Amino acid sequence: MSGVLLPGHAPGTSRAGHGLWIKLRVLAWTNRVFLAVVILPTLLAALYFGLVASDQYESSADFVVRRADSMKTGGDSGQLLGFALGSGASETDAYIVQEYLMSHDAVAHLQAKNNLIGIFTRDGVDGFSRLWTTYLTPERLLKFYRKQVVIRADDETSITHLTVHTFRPDDSRAIAESLLEMGEQQVNAINERTYNDQVSNAQRSYDEANHQLGEIEAQFTAYRVGHQDVDPTDTGKAQVTMISGLTANLVGARARMQAMGGAISHSSPQYQAMVRQVQTLEAQVAAQSSRVVGGDHSVANRLGDYEQLVIKRTEIAQVYTVAASQLKQAQADAKRKQLYLIRVVQPNLPVKSEYPLRMQITLTIFGALFFAYAIGWLLWAGVKEHSL
């Protein structure tokens, strides 16, 4: 078989392959630090994100928190929603809702309603992406929750952006929907608390004035029933008018009697009839005068008590009017300060997994490690140069 060349056994082939392997080993050994610091971690990251990391689905929603008095007349559609630039939307109110949705209370509510731990410990999810156990402290669950849920507010438009990442599309949308509902409930709670705080004092003043007004009206009723007089003022005026009429009649009758006494005998029937008429008028004037100014039950005596009640009722009525006006104003102010959470974009049901960002993360890891290695190499080269 001398002189026959078998496939794969050409002269020098084994020696060339052995030489290439030696060169690769030398190259690897020479660059062992670069391989260990940059290439190996990058390969591990690429293997994890390319083959192991579980898909995550993002559901997003946008909302804005504004006050009732931020509505602009004649504005565009953005102003009507309350999120246009320069609108009266309160950034502080939006931050209050944002902080609540990222708090322990929100996590506890989601756990009770949506089984948050069960969502973050789904079967089939890789161990680095999911929660490792269902027995978690509230602090650990909150920390993981804040990695999966992001809420940020746009200072220019006052729109708050909400994004939720989970391992199933339905879970992402369900959590986003629950968060919006919780935000609306929190806004309603703030409204109720604000309304009660602002209106309660005015309501108490109004109730007290209303109670006092009811008491004085009851005193008026008792007075009228007790004295059998609806209005002593009107009664007094009627009595004075009657006395004036009787007095005028009495003066006329006396004049006629005096004229008659000079013409006929005092014993004549005509003169005696005139005398009886004068006496009757005098008795009526005396009786009516006593009803007006005489005794404890006279109109004058009753009129003093009645006028005191009238003055007291007038004062209470003025207080009642002011209290009613203040209550109405407080209610109007509280309504103007009412908050509203407006959904600009509803939570979507994701179809395609866009997270984790596999290629971007891998390239970022490679770039960071490469620059770290380059800086370290330059420092090491500088140290060696100064040591020579």
Question: Which pLDDT tens digit goes with each residue over 330-340?
Answer: 888 888 778 88
The encoded tokens of residue 309 equal: 């009640």
| Same structural domain, 223 and 316 | yes
| Same structural domain, 130 and 260 | no
386 located within any domain: no
- Look up the domain containing 316 and give its range: 202-335
The encoded tokens of residue 67 equal: 């006050």
Average pLDDT on 377-388 reads 75
**pLDDT at residue 6, as a whole number:** 39
The encoded tokens of residue 74 equal: 């004649």
| Same structural domain, 179 and 219 | no
350 located within any domain: no
- For residue 7, CA distances in Å to 15, 127, 181, 212, 387 come to 15, 50, 75, 119, 55
90-94, 168-172, 364-368: which has the minimum mean pLDDT?
90-94
| Same structural domain, 234 and 148 | no
The pTM score is: 0.62
**What residues are paired with 124 via a beta bridge?**
none
**pLDDT at residue 9, as a whole number:** 47
**pLDDT at residue 130, as a whole number:** 77
378 located within any domain: no
363 located within any domain: no
| Same structural domain, 61 and 186 | yes
20 located within any domain: no
**Alpha helical stretches, state H, the chain:** 13-30, 32-34, 40-47, 77-81, 91-101, 104-114, 116-120, 138-148, 169-227, 232-261, 269-293, 299-336, 358-387
More confident: 255 or 36: 36
Query: In this structure, what are the phi and psi dihedrals at residue 122, rounded to the nearest 5 degrees?
Result: -60, 145
Residue listed under structure tokens 């006028």: 307
| Of the residues 335, 354, 373, the one at which a domain ends | 335
**pLDDT at residue 376, as a whole number:** 84
18 located within any domain: no
**Is the Cβ–Cβ distance between 163 and 57 less than 8 Å?**
no
Question: Which pLDDT tens digit goes with each residue over 54-111?
Answer: 788 999 999 998 887 655 444 444 444 444 434 444 567 788 899 999 999 999 999 9
**pLDDT at residue 20, as a whole number:** 74
Cα 231 to chain centroid distance, Å, stands at: 52
Best CA proximity match to 106, nearest among 74, 54, 60, 148 = 148
| Same structural domain, 269 and 179 | no
* Count of domains for the chain: 2
| Same structural domain, 61 and 195 | yes
| Same structural domain, 307 and 259 | yes
| Same structural domain, 157 and 65 | yes
**pLDDT at residue 387, as a whole number:** 65
320 located within any domain: yes
| Same structural domain, 239 and 328 | yes
| Same structural domain, 275 and 211 | yes
CATH of the domain at 149: 3.30.70.1130
112 located within any domain: yes
**pLDDT at residue 4, as a whole number:** 38
**pLDDT at residue 81, as a whole number:** 47
**Is the Cβ–Cβ distance between 257 and 278 less than 8 Å?**
yes
| Same structural domain, 149 and 115 | yes
**pLDDT at residue 181, as a whole number:** 94
**pLDDT at residue 285, as a whole number:** 64
- Omega into 41 within 30° of 0, i.e. cis? no
Question: Which pLDDT tens digit goes with each residue over 227-279?
Answer: 555 555 655 565 556 666 667 776 777 777 777 766 776 777 777 777 777 77
The encoded tokens of residue 317 equal: 């009525």
**If DSSP codes are grouped into helix, strand and coil, which group holds residue 157?**
coil
